[in-house]
Amino acid sequence: MSGVSRRDMFRVLLGRGREEVPQAPPAAPVASSGGDELALILDRFCLAWQGSFCSVCSERCPEPGAIVVEQGKPRVDPGKCTGCRVCHDVCPAPRNAVFLVARKARGGMIGKTVDETRPEEPDHE
């Protein structure tokens, strides 16, 4: 095998492989804030996006179609996500890859909310 492809192997993970993963239980789930949040999957932390494999969030999401999986990689459809947090609670990634962000502006928030910035590319490279 050539040196080039050796170096290229798993290039998607360069940077990640050298990070340590804390071996600690996850934080306790936080109650849903009732629909004013939206899940976002951060490719940087998501196993499926990082060359490993995972499908847990899309399997456990109670909202049909809220997590769309293409070629094994999930993304959240903001139009269908209810912000129920299930995906966040079950995500087994070393650093939880699901973030819940506010749909409506909260007091004192700087910048726009996710809904206010729609439509745009999903949060992936």
**Where does this chain bind ligand SF4 (CB under 6 A)?**
39, 41, 46-48, 54-57, 61, 63, 66-67, 74, 76, 81-87, 91, 93, 97-98
Q: How far is the CB of 34 from another protein (least distance, A)?
A: 22
What residues numbered 20-59 form the site for another protein, per CB under 8 A? Answer: 20-27, 40, 42, 44-45, 47, 50-56, 59
Torsion from C-alpha of 64, 65, 68, 71, nearest 10 degrees: 70
The helix (H) or strand (E) run that includes residue 70 is: strand 67-70
Burial class (CB in 10 A: 0-12, 13-18, 19+), 82: middle
Contact partner, 81, from another protein, ligand SF4, none, Cβ < 5-8 Å per class: ligand SF4
Query: The dihedral of CA 17, 89, 42, 6: what is its sign?
Result: positive
CB contact burial 13-25 (16+ within 10 A = b; e otherwise): eeebeeeeeeeee
Out of another protein, ligand SF4, none, which partner does residue 84 contact, by CB within 5 to 8 A per kind?
A: ligand SF4
User: Where along the sequence are the contacts to another protein (CB under 8 A)?
Assistant: 1, 5, 8-14, 16-27, 40, 42, 44-45, 47, 50-56, 59, 71-72, 89-96, 99, 110-112, 117, 120-121, 123
